[in-house]
Amino acid sequence: MFSRIQNPVIKGLLEWVFVIVLALVLALLTRAFLFRVTRVTGYSMEPSLSHGDVLILNRLSYVFSSPRVGDIVAFPYPEDPSAYFIKRIIAQGGDVVDIQDNRFVINGVPLDDPFSHEPLRAPWNVNFPITVEEGHFFVLGDNRNGSRDSRNASVGNVDGDEMIGRVLVRIWPFSTFGRVE
Protein backbone atom coordinates (compact mmCIF):
# COMPACT_ATOMS: atom_id res chain seq x y z
CA MET A 1 0.00 0.00 0.00
CA PHE A 2 2.80 2.40 0.88
CA SER A 3 5.41 0.81 -1.40
CA ARG A 4 5.81 3.93 -3.59
CA ILE A 5 6.92 6.07 -0.67
CA GLN A 6 10.71 6.29 -0.57
CA ASN A 7 11.28 8.03 2.76
CA PRO A 8 11.38 5.27 5.43
CA VAL A 9 10.33 7.62 8.26
CA ILE A 10 7.24 8.84 6.41
CA LYS A 11 6.46 5.31 5.24
CA GLY A 12 6.70 3.97 8.82
CA LEU A 13 4.57 6.82 10.17
CA LEU A 14 1.86 6.23 7.55
CA GLU A 15 1.84 2.50 8.31
CA TRP A 16 1.32 3.24 12.03
CA VAL A 17 -1.45 5.73 11.29
CA PHE A 18 -3.13 3.17 9.04
CA VAL A 19 -2.97 0.45 11.73
CA ILE A 20 -4.35 2.78 14.41
CA VAL A 21 -7.21 3.99 12.21
CA LEU A 22 -8.04 0.39 11.22
CA ALA A 23 -8.06 -0.67 14.89
CA LEU A 24 -10.38 2.22 15.80
CA VAL A 25 -12.77 1.40 12.96
CA LEU A 26 -12.87 -2.28 13.97
CA ALA A 27 -13.46 -1.34 17.63
CA LEU A 28 -16.33 0.98 16.68
CA LEU A 29 -17.91 -1.65 14.43
CA THR A 30 -17.60 -4.29 17.16
CA ARG A 31 -19.21 -1.94 19.70
CA ALA A 32 -22.01 -0.97 17.32
CA PHE A 33 -22.93 -4.42 16.02
CA LEU A 34 -21.50 -7.19 18.23
CA PHE A 35 -20.91 -6.31 21.86
CA ARG A 36 -21.38 -3.44 24.25
CA VAL A 37 -19.91 -2.92 27.71
CA THR A 38 -22.13 -1.47 30.43
CA ARG A 39 -22.05 -1.00 34.19
CA VAL A 40 -24.84 -1.94 36.61
CA THR A 41 -26.17 1.09 38.44
CA GLY A 42 -28.42 0.35 41.39
CA TYR A 43 -29.57 -2.72 43.27
CA SER A 44 -32.63 -3.87 41.33
CA MET A 45 -30.93 -7.02 39.96
CA GLU A 46 -29.50 -8.33 43.23
CA PRO A 47 -28.54 -11.02 43.98
CA SER A 48 -27.77 -11.87 40.33
CA LEU A 49 -25.99 -8.59 39.56
CA SER A 50 -24.62 -5.99 41.95
CA HIS A 51 -24.15 -2.24 41.79
CA GLY A 52 -20.90 -1.57 39.95
CA ASP A 53 -20.69 -4.88 38.06
CA VAL A 54 -19.34 -4.44 34.53
CA LEU A 55 -21.12 -6.52 31.89
CA ILE A 56 -20.74 -7.40 28.24
CA LEU A 57 -23.97 -7.31 26.26
CA ASN A 58 -24.36 -9.57 23.22
CA ARG A 59 -25.92 -7.31 20.58
CA LEU A 60 -26.22 -10.13 18.02
CA SER A 61 -28.27 -12.40 20.27
CA TYR A 62 -31.59 -11.08 19.01
CA VAL A 63 -30.68 -10.66 15.35
CA PHE A 64 -31.22 -14.36 14.67
CA SER A 65 -33.60 -15.26 17.51
CA SER A 66 -36.16 -13.62 19.76
CA PRO A 67 -35.66 -12.76 23.42
CA ARG A 68 -36.76 -15.56 25.75
CA VAL A 69 -38.25 -15.77 29.20
CA GLY A 70 -35.38 -15.90 31.69
CA ASP A 71 -32.98 -13.76 29.63
CA ILE A 72 -31.39 -10.80 31.36
CA VAL A 73 -31.61 -7.93 28.89
CA ALA A 74 -30.64 -4.29 28.54
CA PHE A 75 -32.91 -1.62 27.08
CA PRO A 76 -32.94 2.19 27.13
CA TYR A 77 -33.82 3.86 30.41
CA PRO A 78 -37.13 5.68 29.79
CA GLU A 79 -35.96 9.10 31.05
CA ASP A 80 -32.44 8.91 29.59
CA PRO A 81 -32.07 6.66 26.52
CA SER A 82 -28.27 6.92 26.71
CA ALA A 83 -28.43 4.83 29.93
CA TYR A 84 -29.71 1.25 30.18
CA PHE A 85 -32.12 -0.65 32.37
CA ILE A 86 -31.05 -4.24 33.02
CA LYS A 87 -33.90 -6.60 33.87
CA ARG A 88 -35.02 -10.23 33.54
CA ILE A 89 -37.79 -11.25 31.12
CA ILE A 90 -40.58 -13.13 32.91
CA ALA A 91 -43.29 -13.06 30.23
CA GLN A 92 -43.59 -12.58 26.48
CA GLY A 93 -46.22 -11.56 23.96
CA GLY A 94 -49.56 -13.26 24.59
CA ASP A 95 -48.78 -14.17 28.21
CA VAL A 96 -51.08 -13.00 30.97
CA VAL A 97 -49.27 -11.60 34.01
CA ASP A 98 -51.10 -11.28 37.31
CA ILE A 99 -50.29 -10.76 40.97
CA GLN A 100 -52.14 -13.06 43.37
CA ASP A 101 -51.37 -13.47 47.07
CA ASN A 102 -48.35 -11.16 46.64
CA ARG A 103 -46.78 -13.43 44.00
CA PHE A 104 -46.49 -13.22 40.24
CA VAL A 105 -48.68 -15.57 38.25
CA ILE A 106 -47.97 -16.16 34.55
CA ASN A 107 -50.77 -17.74 32.51
CA GLY A 108 -52.37 -19.03 35.72
CA VAL A 109 -49.14 -20.61 37.06
CA PRO A 110 -47.31 -19.04 40.01
CA LEU A 111 -43.85 -17.82 39.02
CA ASP A 112 -41.39 -20.19 40.64
CA ASP A 113 -37.97 -18.63 40.64
CA PRO A 114 -35.48 -17.87 43.40
CA PHE A 115 -36.37 -14.16 43.37
CA SER A 116 -40.12 -14.27 44.00
CA HIS A 117 -40.44 -16.03 47.35
CA GLU A 118 -40.87 -12.99 49.57
CA PRO A 119 -44.18 -11.13 49.48
CA LEU A 120 -44.24 -8.19 47.09
CA ARG A 121 -44.05 -4.86 48.89
CA ALA A 122 -43.00 -2.49 46.13
CA PRO A 123 -45.86 -0.36 44.83
CA TRP A 124 -46.93 -0.58 41.21
CA ASN A 125 -49.12 1.68 39.14
CA VAL A 126 -50.46 -0.65 36.45
CA ASN A 127 -53.62 -2.72 36.76
CA PHE A 128 -53.28 -6.50 36.82
CA PRO A 129 -53.89 -8.84 35.12
CA ILE A 130 -51.92 -7.65 32.08
CA THR A 131 -51.80 -9.35 28.70
CA VAL A 132 -48.38 -8.73 27.17
CA GLU A 133 -48.66 -7.42 23.61
CA GLU A 134 -47.05 -9.43 20.80
CA GLY A 135 -43.44 -8.43 20.26
CA HIS A 136 -43.22 -7.07 23.82
CA PHE A 137 -41.88 -8.47 27.09
CA PHE A 138 -42.73 -8.09 30.77
CA VAL A 139 -39.49 -7.52 32.69
CA LEU A 140 -38.65 -7.49 36.39
CA GLY A 141 -35.61 -6.82 38.50
CA ASP A 142 -34.48 -9.86 40.49
CA ASN A 143 -34.75 -7.72 43.63
CA ARG A 144 -38.54 -7.71 43.27
CA ASN A 145 -39.13 -5.23 46.10
CA GLY A 146 -36.39 -2.85 45.00
CA SER A 147 -36.94 -2.58 41.27
CA ARG A 148 -38.61 -0.19 38.87
CA ASP A 149 -39.75 -2.44 36.05
CA SER A 150 -42.81 -3.43 33.97
CA ARG A 151 -45.03 -2.91 37.02
CA ASN A 152 -44.40 0.80 36.56
CA ALA A 153 -46.29 2.55 33.75
CA SER A 154 -43.19 4.59 32.83
CA VAL A 155 -41.42 1.32 31.93
CA GLY A 156 -44.31 -0.91 30.91
CA ASN A 157 -43.89 -3.84 28.59
CA VAL A 158 -40.64 -3.56 26.66
CA ASP A 159 -40.70 -3.68 22.87
CA GLY A 160 -38.32 -6.39 21.67
CA ASP A 161 -36.99 -3.99 19.03
CA GLU A 162 -35.80 -1.64 21.80
CA MET A 163 -33.61 -4.25 23.48
CA ILE A 164 -29.93 -3.42 23.21
CA GLY A 165 -28.90 -7.02 23.83
CA ARG A 166 -28.71 -9.94 26.23
CA VAL A 167 -26.32 -9.85 29.17
CA LEU A 168 -23.60 -12.31 28.28
CA VAL A 169 -20.81 -12.11 30.84
CA ARG A 170 -19.73 -10.20 33.93
CA ILE A 171 -16.15 -8.95 33.58
CA TRP A 172 -15.86 -6.97 36.81
CA PRO A 173 -15.28 -7.61 39.62
CA PHE A 174 -12.86 -10.37 38.65
CA SER A 175 -13.96 -12.46 41.63
CA THR A 176 -17.34 -12.96 39.92
CA PHE A 177 -16.10 -13.08 36.32
CA GLY A 178 -18.19 -15.37 34.16
CA ARG A 179 -21.39 -16.06 32.31
CA VAL A 180 -24.53 -14.47 33.74
CA GLU A 181 -27.65 -16.63 34.06
Active site residue 87: yes
Q: How far is CA 4 from the centre of its chain?
A: 49
Active site residue 66: no
Helices assigned H by DSSP within the chain: 8-33
- Tell me: cis bond preceding 47? Omega within 30 of 0 counts: yes
Catalytic one among 61, 87, 147, 150? 87
Looking at the DSSP assignment, which residues form a beta bridge with residue 166? 58, 73
The DSSP 8-state label assigned to residue 49 in this structure reads S
The set of catalytic residues is 44, 87
